[in-house]
């Protein structure tokens, strides 16, 4: 069964959570609506024909006015496609079957993209070794898919294959290479490459204890902390470099901090250290 009657009680489960697995097509309709009666059987028939490549969620907008209002339904039938918990496409009115099929083909992932979506939870769970074969197969099926290439770079980075991770990024089109995700991955590769040649933490701390002005040791210790995701400790060292000599290493302390601000997910931590950096520079 690929079509469900959905209301406020199960909308999150079927539509929001469900759309992290496959696209969910939500049909906002009402019993009195003539065009709805034309469109609804077309959607139901296609849901069966596509055999689970998308899920159809039917929402009676009269009975679920809050949902209709939340998603900006102004007229019905209104069909919205969800993927990853977000609306990615929509149409209004009773379209003929050929146009509904064209709509579905726009939102349903390609075979390569479907494999990427299977691999993504493995990547996020730290199981890059299991994700990698799926991503390679995905790229074979869909070689122009930039998202697959980015996830391959992420997997190779997690496995320590930095040359292959960088090669995947370098193979992206120019515009994609300048995107936020590619830039973040490139920064992480740079950090991982630097950390390979670093002395141990104990040695670096001994050097700093012996000479608090050893900025080379402080920068190397910051890089080691960054590689280990000990971001606050890393930023403390970088701030100390800026405090002692803001021009050191072509402003290495400030530049490393700015790069780190892009990598750290903790918004409050970033705000705190941005303020500290600003106070030093002003």
Q: Any idea what the CATH number is for the domain that residue 183 is in?
A: 1.25.40.10
* Residues 111, 142 contacting (CB under 8 angstroms): yes
Mean pLDDT of the chain: 92
- Give me the sheet containing 55-60, strands edge to edge: 3-5, 55-60, 24-29, 78-83, 86-92
Summarize the confidence of residues 4-21 as an average pLDDT. Answer: 93
Residues 10 and 102 in one domain: yes
Residues 69 and 17 in one domain: yes
The pLDDT tens digits of the residues spanning 156-173 come to 999 989 999 999 999 999
Summarize the confidence of residues 217-225 as an average pLDDT. Answer: 93
Residues 145 and 55 in one domain: no
Lowest-pLDDT range of 109-118, 120-129, 145-154: 109-118
36 is catalytic: yes
Give me the pLDDT at residue 252, please.
92
Residues linked to residue 26 through DSSP beta bridges, in sequence order: 57, 80
- Structural tokens at position 104: 């579905």
Q: Choosing from 14, 24, 36, 260, which is the catalytic residue?
A: 36
Residues 135 and 39 in one domain: no
Give me the pLDDT at residue 196, please.
79
- Answer whether residue 91 shows pLDDT above 90: yes
- Structural tokens at position 151: 């996830």
Give me the pLDDT at residue 109, please.
83
* Residues 246, 208 contacting (CB under 8 angstroms): no
Q: What gap in Å lies between CA 7 and CA 15, rounded to an integer?
A: 10
Q: What gap in Å lies between CA 223 and CA 219, rounded to an integer?
A: 6
Q: Compute the chain's Rg from CA coordinates.
A: 25
pLDDT above 70 as % of the chain:
100
Q: What is the 3-state secondary structure (H, E, C) of 247-260?
A: CHHHHHHHHHHHHH
33 is catalytic: yes
The model's confidence at residue 188, banded by pLDDT at 50, 70 and 90, is: confident
Give me the pLDDT at residue 264, please.
86
Summarize the confidence of residues 186-210 as an average pLDDT. Answer: 89
Number of domains in the chain: 3
- Structural tokens at position 165: 């991770």
Q: Measured over all CA atoms, what is the biggest interatomic distance in the chain, rounded to whole angstroms?
A: 83
Residues 49 and 63 in one domain: yes
Q: The domain containing residue 168 runs over which residues?
A: 111-195
- 88-111 in b/e form (b: 16+ CB < 10 A) is eebeeebbeeeebeebbeebbbee
Quick one: which of 100, 103, 107 has its CA closest to 35?
100
Q: Choosing from 33, 83, 128, 152, which is the catalytic residue?
A: 33
The model's confidence at residue 84, banded by pLDDT at 50, 70 and 90, is: confident
- In CATH, what number is assigned to the domain containing residue 218? 1.25.40
The pLDDT tens digits of the residues spanning 226-275 come to 888 899 999 999 999 999 999 999 999 999 999 889 888 899 999 999 99
Which of the listed residues 78, 107, 136 is the one where a domain comes to its end?
A: 107
- Answer whether residue 31 shows pLDDT above 90: yes
Q: What gap in Å lies between CA 80 and CA 82, rounded to an integer?
A: 7
Give me the pLDDT at residue 68, please.
93
Chain-centroid distance, C-alpha 137: 20
Which of the listed residues 195, 227, 260 is the one where a domain comes to its end?
A: 195
Which of the listed residues 161, 179, 195 is the one where a domain comes to its end?
A: 195
């Amino acid at each position: 069964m690929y079509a469900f009657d959905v209301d406020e009680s199960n909308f999150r489960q079927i539509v929001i959570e469900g759309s992290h697995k496959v696209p969910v097509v939500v049909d906002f309709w009402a019993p009195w609506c003539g065009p709805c009666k034309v469109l609804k059987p077309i959607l139901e028939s296609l849901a069966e024909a596509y055999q689970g490549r998308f899920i159809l969620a039917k929402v009676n907008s009269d009975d679920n006015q809050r949902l209709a209002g939340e998603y900006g339904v102004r007229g019905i039938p209104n069909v919205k496609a969800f993927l990853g918990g977000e609306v990615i496409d929509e149409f209004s009115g009773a379209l003929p079957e050929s146009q509904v099929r064209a709509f579905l083909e726009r939102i349903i992932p390609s075979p390569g993209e479907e494999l990427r979506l299977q691999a993504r939870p493995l990547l996020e769970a730290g199981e890059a070794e299991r994700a990698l074969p799926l991503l390679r197969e995905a790229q074979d099926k869909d070689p122009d898919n930039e998202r697959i290439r980015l996830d391959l770079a992420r997997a190779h980075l997690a496995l320590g294959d930095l040359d292959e991770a960088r090669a995947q990024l370098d193979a992206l089109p120019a515009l994609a290479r300048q995107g936020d995700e590619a830039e973040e991955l490139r920064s992480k590769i740079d950090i991982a490459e630097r950390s390979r040649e670093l002395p141990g933490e104990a040695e670096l701390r001994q050097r700093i204890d012996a000479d608090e002005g050893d900025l080379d040791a402080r920068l190397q210790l910051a890089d080691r902390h960054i590689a280990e995701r000990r971001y606050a400790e890393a930023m403390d060292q970088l701030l100390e470099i800026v405090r002692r000599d803001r021009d050191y290493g072509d402003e290495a302390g400030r530049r490393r901090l700015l790069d780190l601000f892009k990598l750290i997910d903790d918004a409050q931590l970033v705000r705190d250290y941005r303020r500290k950096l600003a106070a030093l520079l002003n």
